[in-house]
Amino acid sequence: MQYNPKEIEKKWQEFWDKNNSFEPSEDKTLPKKYILSMFPYPSGRIHMGHVRNYSIGDALARYYRQMGYNVLHPIGWDSFGMPAENAAIKHKLHPKKWTYENIDYMRKELKSLGLSFSKTREFATSDTEYTRWEQEFIIKMYEKGLLYQKNQTVNWCETCHTVLANEQVIEGCCWRCDNPIIQKEMPGYYIAITKYAGELLDDMKELRDGWPKRVLTMQENWIGRSLGLEFRFELSQESKEKLNNCFDGYEVFTTRADTIYGVTYSALAPEHEIVNYMIQNNLLDEQTKQTILKMQSILPRDRAAQEKEGVYIGIDVIHPLTKEKIPVWVANFVLVEYGSGAVMAVPAHDERDFEFANKYNLPIKHVIEPPKGNLELPYTNPGILVNSGEFSGMKSEEAKKAIIKKFEELGIGKETVNYKLRDWGISRQRYWGAPIPFIHCQNCGLVPEKIENLPVTLPDDVEITGSGNPLETHPTWKKCVCPRCGADATRETDTMDTFVQSSWYQFRYVTDFHKYKDVPFRSEDEKYWMSVDEYIGGIEHAILHLLYARFFTKALRDLGYASVNEPFKNLLTQGMVLKDGSKMSKSKGNTVDPDELIEKYGADTARLFILFAAPPEKELEWNDKAVEGAFRFLNRLYTNQAKCKNTTTKPNPIPASKAEKLARKKVYETLKKADEVYTKTFAFNTLIASAMEALNELNKIDNEDIYTEGYWIITNVLEPIVPHIANEIADNLFNQENFGKIEIDESALKDDEITMAVTVNGKKRAEIHVAPNEDKDKLIEVAKQAAARYIDGKTIIKEIVVPNKLINIVIKG
């Protein structure tokens, strides 16, 4: 009996295909599981990361099917995006052709892995039906104030007349023509994700049990909530006059209201409106102006690497409590994006302010003292207030509250929450994306396309050259009429960030959209299937994708499309696949091609190895020899089925010998472990090890019934991992009757005799063989005999019995 994976795998894949074996049921009275692996970008070929991702998801889907659940296990394609355009430039292929051909190839690859995906729910995000609904969502968001336009800074290549993504900028130059890029302001569309910042943060408590802690921490830091005081700095009378009375002050934000008496200067971002006003109206001397212009020309993210720098701009503000005059500086470390783009500076209690004050010899005034020990500046921890008027003597925490209260009473400030999270810019000046469905009309301004005109589709007759935006240069595509007034108008040529598509695909799968075309997904389906019970994917999506998808879910809920607060109840982040210690990548030349692996050993070996080599969250080090080991195990499993008999009911044999008893015990331990692994721990490696142990023990005995029972259970337990061979064996021997829930025979797990360790002062000295749950006094007696040579003549202080595990005898001397 020769194991021939190629033949078996082909047979079963065809069987599943013909029988539509993996379609979810429409019967909503059944218990459900929605198992989702992150969908792939159709780059051309699958890689080992995909194999790992989908092997994990498939194992869960198949397990729950065996347990009688209605399982939704879909796959799709994240098919818009830049690589398609790069391929178009390089190989003169149309992005659409390239993309859909890749999808066809990769679909075959996934099928050859024996993955149990639904066929009816598959789609690509570049399908116009998908775009149609996405455009509707975007319009509804606009109507609700969740989408708006503002100027954005982009990387611009003057030679190619195109916007470049950050990764296309190589050392400040264009990746294609090598000319220097510049920063250019142009309008872009933004989604107001910050309106949901609070909810995104608060709802993480719903995810605490189901998501890895580190992902939650990363999102928490990314959202970056801080509570503090926002107040207004009033400009001095002379300064107001200097600014032609166009400004009378500006807002600042601080989390350290307790240090307010320590303010010795204030600093504005180089892009602050007052600064820009002063530049435009020649209110600065030439040197100051040049210094600021230079600061502005440096990207905010590059400024972080620079030394602190600033310049006094000749105006002053009044301290709100002491009424002292405070000089106003422009400083390169103040971010225009955060808070109000201006800060109060307390050099004694803030590292940045301290460094800056030292450089420019600004006064340093300490107002907090440590509760104990000496004051060393800058002192940034909480402490006791000094030199702080009526607040002197208070502790920092108490003082913060009191000072905020005082500002609120005086009506000059209020408690405020600020977030690091920025609104989400979704504009891309590219061809291969979902068109943003807006129209520019000379009379009406920005107007959304009418819903009945959706989808706005891409023109096919374009040539992708890498220079300019093909939608912009297309002869006719842009031309349209205003949906509101009917005048000639132009279409928006920006397309959407591909993260928009991946933010709601989990909803699209819930409905058989080939049948129901008038909705993005049916509400009854959404209520039944959502949330996703198990979401599996790479840790690299910990922040952006997962945050956007969480936001989109909440937005769709508030727009009336969805019912859930959170899209993914449980999240499993799989580790990377490494070879020779580093991530598999083409550039490093350390890849292993899944197709070749399947060709050589079969899909079951690939799946078995990948789940056996490491627990899912950990990195997986590739090992060709260990792959062969996995193959050997499957060979043994296959050939040894000859030792079984054919039956359609599980044998329930009574073991006669110790070895038979042990073999049966290992089998049932494996069955017991399966439940825990598939539903809770996902430690497939330990389940496989347990199955190997069981088979090893079975091979030591010669009892057909026990052997057959073992196979009945082992093939059941391993089917989610190695479905082809398991189905083949189950078909040969059991007419597949062994699939489904199997009751655990508790008696098989019980031992007639157990081994207990005898330790003396915690050191193992002997083993004893006793009946389970033996009387404590008896155990101690036996243990003392076994360890006699260690305790004779010594004083026994204590005897500790851990039931069925060990006896510890504590002696003195």
Which residues in the 383-422 window bind RNA by CB under 7 A? Answer: 418, 420
Which residue's CB is nearer to RNA, number 10 or number 420? 420
Interface segment toward RNA; rule CB under 7 A; list 51-59, 727-735, 774-782, 803-811: 803-811
- Residue 359 has which token pair? 């450089």
The verdict on 377 binding RNA (CB under 7 A) reads no
User: x/- binding map, residues 536-565, to RNA, per CB under 7 A?
Assistant: ---x--xx----------------------
Distances (CA, A) of 36 to 118, 151, 572: 11, 37, 10
Rounded Cα distance between 136 and 435, Å, is: 11
Total number of residues that touch RNA (CB under 7 A) = 83
Build a one-symbol-per-residue string for 492-531: x at contacts with RNA by CB under 7 A, - elsewhere: ----------------------------------------
Compute the least distance from the CB of residue 213 to RNA, in Å: 6
- CA-CA distances (angstroms) from residue 611 to 34, 285, 577? 21, 68, 12
CB 609 within 8 A of CB 124: no
Residues numbered 255 to 274 that lie near RNA (CB under 7 A) are 255-256, 269
CB atoms within 10 A of CB 652: 10
Determine the Cα–Cα distance for residues 614 and 574; give it in Å rounded to an integer: 10
The two three-digit tokens of residue 73, written as one number: 């296990």
Q: Which one among 228, 320, 383, 655 touches RNA, defined by CB under 7 A? A: 228
Which CB sits closer to RNA, 130 or 333?
Answer: 333
Query: Which CB sits closer to RNA, 385 or 756?
Result: 756
Residue 371: CB atoms within 10 Å? 10
> Is residue 749 a contact residue for RNA (CB under 7 A)?
no
Q: Does 447 bind RNA (CB under 7 A)?
A: no
Rounded Cα distance, 497 and 106, in Å: 23
Q: Which is nearer to RNA, 73 or 666 (CB)?
A: 666
- Nearest approach, Cβ of residue 396 and RNA (Å): 13
Q: Where are the alpha helices (DSSP H) in 413-543?
A: 470-473, 498-501, 505-508, 523-529
Closest approach of Cβ 471 to RNA, in Å?
Answer: 31
* CB-count exposure of residue 363 (10 Å: 0-12, 13-18, 19+): exposed
CA distance 362 to 347: 9
Rounded Cα–Cα distance for residues 506 and 74 (Å): 9
Interacting positions 615-634 with RNA (CB under 7 A): 615, 618-621, 623, 625-626, 628-630, 632-633
Select 227 or 293, whichever has its Cβ closest to RNA.
227
Report, in Å, the least distance between residue 762 CB and RNA. Answer: 3
Helix (H, G, I), strand (E, B) or coil at 647: coil
Nearest distance, CB of residue 82 and RNA, angstroms: 20
Cβ-based nearer residue to RNA, 138 or 786:
786
Options 180, 762, 785, 796; binder of RNA; rule CB under 7 A: 762
DSSP assignment of 69-121: -EEE----B---SHHHHHHHHHH---HHHHHHHHHHHHHHHHHHTT----STT
Please say which residue, 3 or 69, places its beta carbon nearer to RNA.
Answer: 3
**Piece in contact with RNA (CB under 7 A), picked from 284-292, 359-367, 561-569, 610-618:** 610-618
Considering the complex, what minimum distance in angstroms separates the CB of residue 295 from RNA?
10
| 3-state per-residue secondary structure call for 7-66 | HHHHHHHHHHHHCCCCCCCCCCCCCEEEEEECCCCCCCCCCHHHHHHHHHHHHHHHHHHH
> Quick one: 96 or 672, whose CB is closer to RNA?
672
Query: Of 169 and 683, which CB lies nearer to RNA in the complex structure?
Result: 683
Task: Give me the least distance between CB of 638 and RNA, in Å please.
Answer: 11
Residue 659 as a binder of RNA (CB under 7 A): the answer is no
* 655 prior amide bond cis, ω within 30: no
Site string for RNA, 693-712 (x = CB under 7 A): x--x--x-------------
Kindly report the number of other CB atoms within 10 A of residue 690's CB atom: 21
CB closer to RNA out of 24 and 383: 383
Q: Residue ranges of the alpha helices (H) in 620-763? A: 624-639, 658-676, 684-698, 704-718, 723-734, 746-749
> For tokens 């079963």, what's the residue?
12
Nearer to RNA, 231 or 513 (CB): 231
Residue 316 lies near RNA (rule: CB under 7 A)? no
Rounded CA gap, 128 and 119, in Å?
19
Q: Which of 763, 773, 776, 778 binds RNA (CB under 7 A)?
A: 763
As a 3-state breakdown, the chain gives helix, strand, coil percent values, each rounded to 5, of 40, 20, 40
Q: Residue 794, interface with RNA (CB under 7 A)?
A: no
Residue with Cβ nearer RNA (10 or 765): 765
Within a 13 Å sphere around the CA of 748, how many CA atoms are in the beta-carbon half? 24
Nearest approach in angstroms of CB 767 to RNA is 6
What single-letter DSSP state applies at residue 136?
A: H
- Going through 162-281 in order, the beta strands assigned E by DSSP cover 162-164, 169-170, 173-174, 182-191, 225-235, 249-254, 265-268
Among 133, 253, 548, 552, binds RNA (CB under 7 A): 253
429 touches RNA by CB under 7 A? no
Residues 33-92, interacting with RNA (CB under 7 A): none
- Of 329-368, binders to RNA (CB under 7 A) are 332-335, 337-339, 341, 343-344, 350, 352
Stretch that binds RNA, among 202-210, 211-219, 371-379, 592-600 (CB under 7 A): 211-219
